[in-house]
Amino acid sequence: MDPMGRGAAGREDPLEKQVVDNRYRLIRRIGSGGMSVVYLAERLGIGKPIAIKFLRSAFVNLPDFVSRFEGEARACSRLSHLNCVSVIDFGVAFGSPYLVMEYVHGTLLSTVIGRGRILPERAIAIIRQILAGLRHAHTRGVIHRDLKPGNIMLVEMTGAADFVKIMDFGTAQILTGEGASRSQLGTDVGTPWYMAPEQAAGQPTDQRTDLYAVSVMLFEMLTGERPFVADDPMRVLEMHLKSPIPSLRVLRPELGISPELEAAIVKALQKQPGDRYASAEEFDAVLQKLPEVARQHGGLGVPAEPRVAPAPVPATNHEEPDLSALVPVATSEMFEPAPPQILLPRRRTGLWLALGVLVLAAVAVALYLTGVIPR
């Protein structure tokens, strides 16, 4: 039995209904890629849905692939953020390493883009959430290196239909304290259409590599096409390295994209990492000030504190999740005028003072007449 192989069409999956480590029951296969197979599963005794990813059996004897798979476990175990899919457990079963992950049900960003271009306001809101998740990951020394619409899931959460979950840190680079990579140079992998020039050239990568991919996704969301396209993937990589950045406003003038938005995308798409934004936080700060965002909120800009009430979280040593980008559309209640103040009537101090004097005078007269006060 080769449960992690590519089964014949219509053939029942031999792993379905199997129990993993006496804890997880596999329900059905829900996805597969070149390296791995993903199953919907449930935690025994609880019934909570989870996702389990197995490394394909064809790769279990290849140290490099096993190392990459284990690297994903290490990378995701460092992350605890609402915009990042979390790893719950890992182990080995049926002869293959596996990861137990948070189960996320929604719509892939690639599917949404396939339906047509996305309005700037919505696209920016989605990108800001991606940047929020990346800021958390980058702070912990984790670089994704394979950001693309197929790795971004949009789910409905806290009343927002476009709540972002970043998935698949399978090519993640984990940095040491000195900033060096644990992966060797020249072994970077990714998706050609979203790879930064330094990644395409096999050079060292860092957080600015992810920001390049984010900008490619924003370009694609706004225009419906990627900035660099060719039939040959190697030609695409060459274009990332050498071709000038296409102008969104020239390519699609009918979209009415502001010069500021185009400038933000162009800066993140610079060939040299040093010419891009230095961090996800810096990129996000620029997006907050765009005219498209100001129009979305009636010209008032983005509220500094979105009105989102997160569920209570037990005290831990982890950084609190950043919620600055979780509400893509401002609600009218954010800008309602403050309720009119109710003013209490002023006290009539003069009247009370006069009454007090009269009372004291009456008391004095009574004491005089009774002889308490000598005549």
* pLDDT digit string, tens, across residues 239-282: 999 999 999 999 889 888 999 999 999 999 999 999 999 999 99
Q: CATH 1.10.510.10 region(s) of the chain?
A: 107-303+321-329
Mean pLDDT of 11-28: 89
Residue 65, token pair as written in the block: 């692939």
In degrees, rounded to 5, the angle at the alpha carbon of residue 116 between the alpha carbons of residues 242 and 217 is 35
Q: What is the pTM of this model?
A: 0.72
pLDDT at residue 218, as a whole number? 98
- Tell me the torsion sign for CA atoms 320, 322, 327, 333: positive
* Residue 316, C-beta contacts closer than 8 angstroms, at least 6 positions apart: 80
Query: Could you list the active site residues?
Result: 146
Pairing type for strands 87-93 and 107-108 reads: unpaired
Q: Within 10 Å of residue 82's Cβ, how many Cβ atoms?
A: 21
* Averaged pLDDT for residues 215-223: 97
E strand or H helix at 294, and its extent?
Answer: helix 291-296
- pLDDT at residue 357 greater than cutoff 50: no
Query: Rounded CA gap, 142 and 144, in Å?
Result: 6
What is the 3 state secondary structure string of 302-371? CCCCCCCCCCCCCCCCCCCCCCCCCCCCCCHHHHCCCCCCCCCCCCCHHHHHHHHHHHHHHHHHHHHHCC
Residue 191 CA to its chain's centroid (Å): 20
Average pLDDT over residues 114-127: 94
- Does the domain at 19-102 match CATH 3.30.200.20? Answer given as yes
CATH superfamily membership of 107-303+321-329: Transferase(Phosphotransferase) domain 1 (1.10.510.10)
Pick the residue with more confidence: 346 or 87?
87
